Amino acid sequence: MKKLTRPQIAWRIAQDIPDGAYVNLGIGAPELIANYMPEDREVVIHSENGILGMGPSPAEGEEDPDLINAGKKPVTLLPGGSYFHHTDSFAMIRGQHLDIAVLGAFQVSRDGDLANWATLDNSRPPGVGGAMDLAVGAKKVFVMTDHCTRDGQPKLLEACTYPLTGKAVVDRIYTDVAVIDVTGGGFVVREILAGLPADQLNAMTGADLTIADDCAALTAPAL
Amino acid sequence: MIDKRVRDFDTALAGMADGATIMSSGFGAAGAPHDLLEAVLERDWRELVIISNNAGEGDRGLIRLIQERRVAKVICSFPTSSNSEIIKDLYFANLIELEIVPQGTLSERMRAAGSGIGGFYTRTSVNTPLSEGKEIRTFQGVDYVLELPLTADFAFIKAKQSDRWGNLVYNKSARNFGPTMAMAAETTIVQVDEFVELGTLDPERIITPGVYVDRVIEVPGA
């Protein structure tokens, strides 16, 4: 019973992104999802700096400083891809033209409130980027996160204690031990790490969980 | 005859003064008008207010103006990036002011300024600290926050090519904030890789029509 690694969580999320979807993958861990997209699906990746149809990292030596992703790393453009300016890019986001945004999280509440841009420690200058626009704008918001913080504190809570990115915006949470839907009635566990008892998952979570009747085992290939 | 091309930075920067507000294009280093910003640095203007997505990146342009303490305030969505310890240090020493605006709201506020829109309502930042003190209005059961236009004395843009009318084309994702900032400021100054003859830019591909542009300077290989 090993927790999923980040690439394994990314793989698991990739399985749920349907053919034809327009998707924004948040800066950091969600970027990994692009590596595990099933080959029989055509998914268009949006980057908020002004790209649709973003491709993988270029080969070494092929980098173009004018072609970067939201994390400011060099990328490529796939055939059919396009460039557009920032205001159009965010019109696309807020106007609900993107099917899915996958974002990281510090905390998620049972009502789907998301906190992912600021903590309470104030040791870094504030910065929000496009997180608030993506949180309210994408048709569906998936969260990719470890279930608990590094020091074991739950990240799925009754209510967020950190400043919100958006209220009632999260649809589904993929963690290293579970797949959890945010429903009108709180957190519903759809998949739980094979071999992890439900009461142990409860103990790792700061809010009540409902285990779905058809709750399945969360598994991923070795990556 | 219309000719917006200028030969030197002194002409390009005419009217610049201490305390000026400058929009600076670019997302990270892509599309950043480093040479215009460094020309400001060399001419010693101070107390500048910069509107840009990030507060400098790498070792050129905006980060240098900030390092040299010429910038009083940055209005941005995300100040820190690579090599931005300096932002952190100045911010916590109260030597630079940061105003954080969500990225799409930042862009749309400039678009509003450039298009005669007195304000707009967006769902972005509702129920967060960034909408505190602002008007909230409910449309069809959904809460929106009122955001106001954002203008500036100058916009500094980097583009790929320009003709003498100031029509612009950009390169790939370096386009980012250029077209919006070009319309939003009082005076728009552009650095381009290359001047081209009037009539050679495909009209179907001109991204920023020259009406938004005041001055263009050629900086090859920037």
- Per DSSP, helices labelled H in B48-102 are 62-67, 85-92
Classify A6-57+68-218 by CATH class: alpha beta
- At B84 the pLDDT is 72
Would you call A160 an interface residue with chain B, using a CB distance cutoff of 8 Å? no
Q: How far is CA B130 from the centre of its chain?
A: 21
Task: Tell me the per-residue pLDDT of B163-221, one tens digit each, with 9 for 90 and over.
Answer: 999 999 999 999 999 999 999 999 999 999 999 999 999 999 999 999 999 999 999 98
Distance from CA of B1 to the nearest CA of A (A): 30
- At B82 the pLDDT is 65
Note which residues in 75-94 of chain A have CB less than 8 A from chain B: 77, 83-87, 89-91, 93-94
Picking from A67, A87, A127, the nearest residue to B78 by CB comes out as A127
Asked if A48's CB is within 8 angstroms of B103's CB, the reply is yes
Assigned CATH for B5-103+150-218: 3.40.1080.10
Picking from B80, B170, B174, the nearest residue to A125 by CB comes out as B80
Asked if A47's CB is within 8 angstroms of B177's CB, the reply is no
Distance from CA of A51 to the nearest CA of B (A): 7
Percent of chain A whose pLDDT exceeds 90:
95
Note which residues in 46-75 of chain A have CB less than 8 A from chain B: 47-51, 64-68, 72
Mean pLDDT of A114-138: 94
Assess whether pLDDT exceeds 80 at residue B222: no
Mean pLDDT of A114-139: 94
Task: Tell me the per-residue pLDDT of A206-218, one tens digit each, with 9 for 90 and over.
Answer: 999 999 999 999 9
Distance CA B179, CA B159 (A): 10
Picking from A127, A129, A163, the nearest residue to B128 by CB comes out as A163
Where exactly are the structural domains of chain B? 5-103+150-218
Distance CA B87, CA B59 (A): 13
Task: Tell me the per-residue pLDDT of B104-126, one tens digit each, with 9 for 90 and over.
Answer: 999 999 999 999 999 999 999 99
Picking from A65, A66, A126, the nearest residue to B100 by CB comes out as A126
Q: How far is CA A69 from the centre of its chain?
A: 16
Q: How far is CA B184 from the centre of its chain?
A: 9
Distance from CA of B217 to the nearest CA of A (A): 19
Residue of A nearest to B104 (CA): A90
* Residue in B125, B134, B176, B192 to test binding to A, most A beta-carbons within 10 Å: B176
- Angle CA(A30)–CA(A31)–CA(A33) in degrees, nearest 5? 70
Which residues of B are less than 8 Å from A67 in CB distance? Answer: 30, 172-173
Among this protein's residues, is A48 annotated catalytic? yes
Would you call A111 an interface residue with chain B, using a CB distance cutoff of 8 Å? no
Element at A173 (helix H, strand E): strand A172-174
Residue of B nearest to A96 (CA): B123
List, in sequence order, every beta strand (DSSP E) within B12-141: 21-24, 48-51, 71-76, 97-100, 120-122, 136-139
Distance from CA of A77 to the nearest CA of B (A): 9
Would you call A122 an interface residue with chain B, using a CB distance cutoff of 8 Å? no
Q: What is the ipTM of this complex?
A: 0.95
Which residues of A are less than 8 Å from B127 in CB distance? Answer: 164, 166-167
Which residues of B are less than 8 Å from A124 in CB distance? Answer: 80, 88
Task: Tell me the per-residue pLDDT of A26-74, one tens digit each, with 9 for 90 and over.
Answer: 999 999 999 999 999 999 999 999 999 999 999 999 999 999 999 999 9
Distance CA A26, CA A18 (A): 18
Which of A46, A36, A42 has its CA nearest to residue A8?
Answer: A36
Percent of chain B whose pLDDT exceeds 70:
99
Assess whether pLDDT exceeds 70 at residue B83: no
Would you call B167 an interface residue with chain A, using a CB distance cutoff of 8 Å? no
pTM for the complete prediction?
0.96
